[in-house]
Amino acid sequence: MSADDDIRSELAGVAASLRAYLEWQEDTGASGIPRVGRRRPAAPADAARPAEPAMRPVPPVTPPVEHAPAPLPEARATEHAPAPLPEARATEHAPAPLPEARATEHAPAEAAPPVDRAARLPVLASEVSVCVKCELAKTRTQTVFARGNPEASLCIIGEAPGADEDAQGLPFVGRAGQLLDRMIAAMGLAPEKDVYVCNIIKCRPPGNRRPEPSEIEACIPYLHEQIALVRPRVIVAMGNTAVSALLGTKLGITKLRGQWKLYRGATLVMPTYHPSYLLRPSAQQAEAKRQAWEDLQLVMKELGLAPPPRRRE
């Protein structure tokens, strides 16, 4: 046999072995190329010889992404993750819910509903009518609350009711009240329409004496609420008692009259003489009336009222 025949015979054997090997792979599901020099199985169906393990397939190589970290296996990715706490432990340090009263302890207070001024004033007058906070309740005929228009821009405040006021239940209805009405009319105002009139205290002191400090202290809260409900633009305080109670001052009326002051830092107050003082005969009577009229003219200017016509000489 020639050398060529030997080569052909050998190639035919190799081809037969390769064909048999590939058929064996197809039957068994194996894949891969055997390494060179390794002995091939003579026959894949030979049960007497243990089949050689198939070569592990080489996975395709994917070029790595530059600087991108390789993904961790699932078990390793969660290796250092904190284990979830049991439900009881997860809420172990959670603050206990506050009781309802404590939860709202520091909540801002709700704004007070607006007061119906027109409805509240009669109620306040009714409360005054049964007041027994001081000894004057034992000697009064009736309380004296106010007269005039609670919507007015001007509020006039005197000292206390006299005998006529105690009898009628209205402030400034005696001689001093009649003079006051003339003064109001001289300003170009109507007493019952354009002015609200009241006193520091609501009961007549016996003998028309000056009210005691304890009586003023017991009664003045009513006046403070009155003013808050009426909300006048200007207050005219007539006499020492009214000025002292409203402004908390010890200065007399002769030193304060004609000067703008503030009631509770908000409402303008003009101190002036009480009409009863202007009616009292004295050497200063004419001068006191002139000064009182000057004070009222300042009030007119503040309220934007037209100045009265000048008298002909």
The alpha carbon torsion through 216, 221, 223, 226 (nearest 10 deg) reads -170
Task: Determine phi and psi for 138, rounding to 5 degrees.
Answer: -80, -20
Q: Give the pLDDT confidence of 64-119 residue by residue, as tens digits.
A: 444 444 444 444 444 444 444 444 444 444 445 444 434 334 444 444 456 788 89
Indicate yes or no: pTM above 0.75: no
- Locate the domains of the chain by residue range: 117-303
Query: Is residue 25 very low, low, confident or very high in pLDDT (cuts 50, 70, 90)?
Result: low
Query: Is residue 58 very low, low, confident or very high in pLDDT (cuts 50, 70, 90)?
Result: very low
Tell me how far CA of residue 174 lies from CA of 23, 208, 275, in angstroms.
137, 13, 11
Q: Give the pLDDT confidence of 225-273 residue by residue, as tens digits.
A: 999 999 999 999 999 999 999 999 999 999 999 999 999 999 999 999 9
Helices (H) and strands (E) in the chain — how many of each? 12, 6
CATH entry 3.40.470.10 includes domain 117-303? yes
